[in-house]
Amino acid sequence: MNCNVQSVGIIGTGSYLPEQIVTNKDLEQLVDTSEEWIVTRTGIRERRKAPQEMATSDMGAIACERALKAAGITAMEIDMILVATVTPDMPFPSSASLIQDRIGAKNAAALDISAACSGFIYGLAVGSQMIATGMYKHVLVVGAETLSRILDPEDRSTLILFGDGAGAAVLGPVEKGTGILSFDLGSDGAGGQYLYQEAGGSRFPLTVETLEKGQQYVRMNGNEVFKFAVKIMGETSLRALEKIGLTKEDVDFLVPHQANIRIVDAAVKRLKLPSEKVYINLDRYGNMSGASIPVALDEALRENKIKPGDNIVLVGFGAGLTWASCVIRWS
């Protein structure tokens, strides 16, 4: 990052997880699967499910209020809200605008970001530039998902993976030399065919026919996504480190996207990190897409796993196919 610009860091985080727990045993009652298969192939033991009356912006708003409290600022001091989600309340208005109203952030601009599981880091990139250039002082970046609403109840390959939840981070000015140091963002649109929700947009509007075909649900080629993920997680992390002259030896803590323990293990192996330097909560929440990284970061901070001066790497991948990583020197 250019040294003439304002340094930007995360000055507060918050998260919200719905109370209802769905265990692997519960899923055994719904589809042809087993606790043993799910744990050995993914590492996931349980996930959360939002109650019917709760949508993405409801969970996001609670996470935001907690992040504002941690940052010690009010909603009126927020200049912009960015919501990373693939499960917005509705196509428009944006979930960011709905959250803005809900928390009373009357001075904030608001927009959603669609980069699937990479979306929260994309949001950090957009928001931090706004502050670095002096346009804004505080930006709320939110990852919030209600994936349970778009899962095919008969598709065992996706039903077991995903969960609901929300995480948020307040970006603000920090001391020079600390905060967000670099990003590596990317996309390979040719891989869009491996993970998508087909209906509900302009190509396949929701009709009786698309609903009958189940085109409103997530469809995934798990093997292709898996091959992409195990390669890209390590690669993008190393690129973000290289951009600021750091190496894998400089990493104090890794907060990876929580998709599958085998994918995280591949990244950890590439970075040669001991397990105590890696945050894992996918066993409890599954893959919450855009919410996974901010929830994991919030929990890691609350468990005092991150200290001032630590070099933290956040890294994710997702539909698009997209990838994103960033290096933060904790302030």
Residue for token pair 């698309």: 210
Contact set for ligand ACO, span 175-214 (CB under 6 A): 195
168 belongs to the binding site for ligand ACO (CB under 6 A): no
* Contact track, ligand ACO, 302-331, x by CB under 6 A: ----------------xx------------
Burial 202-228 (b: 16+ CB within 10 A, else e): eeeeeeeebeeeebbbbbbeeeebbeb
Using CB under 6 A as the binding rule, whether residue 287 contacts ligand ACO is answered as yes
Instruction: Transcribe 90-140 into DSSP letters.
Output: SSSS-HHHHHHHHHT-TT-EEEEE--GGGHHHHHHHHHHHHHHTTS-S-EE
Contact in structure between 315 and 258 (CB atoms under 8 Å) = no
Using rule CB under 6 A, residue 113 touches ligand ACO: no
Touching ligand ACO, residues 219-258 (CB under 6 A): 220, 222-223, 225-226, 229
User: Residue 152 CB, nearest distance to ligand ACO (Å)?
Assistant: 12
Tell me which residues in 17-36 interact with ligand ACO (CB under 6 A).
33
Quick check: is 3 catalytic? no
Q: Which residue has the tokens 């929580």?
A: 258
Residue 117 binding ligand ACO, by CB under 6 A: yes
Name the token pair of 201: 């947009």
Residue from the set 5, 21, 35, 37 that interacts with ligand ACO by CB under 6 A: 37
Nearest-10 crossing angle of helices 56-71, 95-103: 50
State yes or no: is 138 an active-site residue.
no
Residues 6+ apart with CB under 8 A from 276: none
Residue numbers at the binding site for ligand ACO (CB under 6 A):
33, 37-38, 41-42, 116-117, 156-157, 160, 195, 220, 222-223, 225-226, 229, 259-260, 287, 289, 318-319
